């Protein structure tokens, strides 16, 4: 499935939730569908989108947090899965778009292309609910179940190694950062 189709399919669920994404294709594609002030794109600091999501989920138990992660980023912060599991925020859904590559730098294959299984890693780290999905219908079902489950979930969504034609968008990093902060502090 295509990542942009997966994001489009669940977009209505994102409108009221706190969304943190990694950089690259995920950020550009979500913006192409429609940027909102409750979306924050961590455009660098690979690996830390899930940590940011945890920080928000722990300090705002009244909000639902969705983290859009990638295989490359998760592999850079595997220990973070154990921290996520340890603190088990019930209000966090962790989606890992696994295209088995580092797309925006030229498509280098990551270890998930040679057998490393991020779902099993998450489960072994102690994440209570995990799933691997490959088809759009499977993805939307797993995502919707996770939203209703009231427990920490990691969904590994296998997606095509394709992406947008450009990764730099017209939303300045700091513009996003301050708008998101204002929304997050005022909301809830």
Partner 1 sequence: MSPVSTVSSRLIYDALKACDIRLLSALPETWLVHLVRMADDDPEMTLVRLAKEEEGVGISAGAHLAGVKSAMLMQNHGFLASINGIVSCAQLYRIPLLMLVSFRGEFGERDPWQTEGGAVTEDLLRALRIPFSYLDHPDHVARRIATAQTLALSANKPVALLLCRDLMWEEG
CB nearer to partner 1: give 79 or 109: 79
**Shortest approach of partner 1 to residue 77 CB, angstroms?**
7
Q: Using the minimum distance from each CB to partner 1, give the nearer residue, 71 or 100.
A: 71
| Residue number, 79 or 107, with CB nearest to partner 1 | 79
Shortest Cβ distance from residue 162 to partner 1 (Å)? 25
DSSP-derived letter for residue 154 is E
Task: CB nearer to partner 1: give 56 or 157.
Answer: 56
Sign of CA dihedral 73, 79, 83, 86: positive
**Beta-carbon contacts of residue 174 (< 8 Å; ≥ 6 apart):** none
CB of 167 to partner 1, least distance (A): 15
Closer residue to partner 1, CB minimum distance, 31 or 43: 43
Please state the closest distance from residue 16 (CB atom) to partner 1, in A: 16
133 in helix, strand or coil? strand
Q: Which helix (H) or strand (E) holds 98?
A: strand 92-98
Rounded to whole angstroms, how far apart are CA atoms 139 and 133? 6
Contact 179, 48 (CB under 8 A): no
CB atoms within 10 A of CB 34: 12
C-alpha dihedral, 156 to 151 to 56 to 64, nearest 10°: 90
Residues that bind partner 1 (CB under 8 A): 20, 40, 42-45, 47-60, 77, 79-80, 82-83, 86-87, 173-174, 177, 180-181, 184-185
Smallest gap from residue 120 Cβ to partner 1 (A): 18
């Amino acid at each position: 499935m295509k990542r942009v189709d997966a994001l489009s399919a669940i977009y209505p669920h994102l409108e009221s939730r706190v969304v943190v994404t990694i950089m690259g294709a995920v950020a550009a594609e979500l913006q192409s569908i429609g940027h909102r002030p409750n979306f924050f794109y961590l455009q660098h600091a690979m690996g830390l989108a899930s940590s940011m999501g945890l920080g928000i989920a722990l300090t705002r138990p009244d909000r639902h947090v969705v983290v859009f992660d990638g295989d490359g980023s998760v592999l850079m912060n595997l220990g973070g899965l154990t921290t996520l599991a340890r603190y088990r925020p019930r209000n966090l859904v962790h989606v890992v778009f696994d295209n088995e590559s580092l797309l925006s730098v030229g498509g280098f294959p990551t270890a998930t292309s040679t057998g490393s299984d991020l779902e099993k890693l998450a489960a072994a780290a102690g994440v209570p609910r995990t799933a691997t999905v490959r088809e759009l219908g499977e993805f939307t079902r797993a995502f919707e179940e996770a939203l209703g489950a009231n427990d920490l979930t990691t969904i590994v969504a296998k997606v095509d190694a394709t992406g947008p034609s450009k990764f730099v968008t017209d939303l300045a990093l700091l513009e996003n950062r301050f708008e998101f902060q204002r929304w997050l502090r005022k909301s809830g």
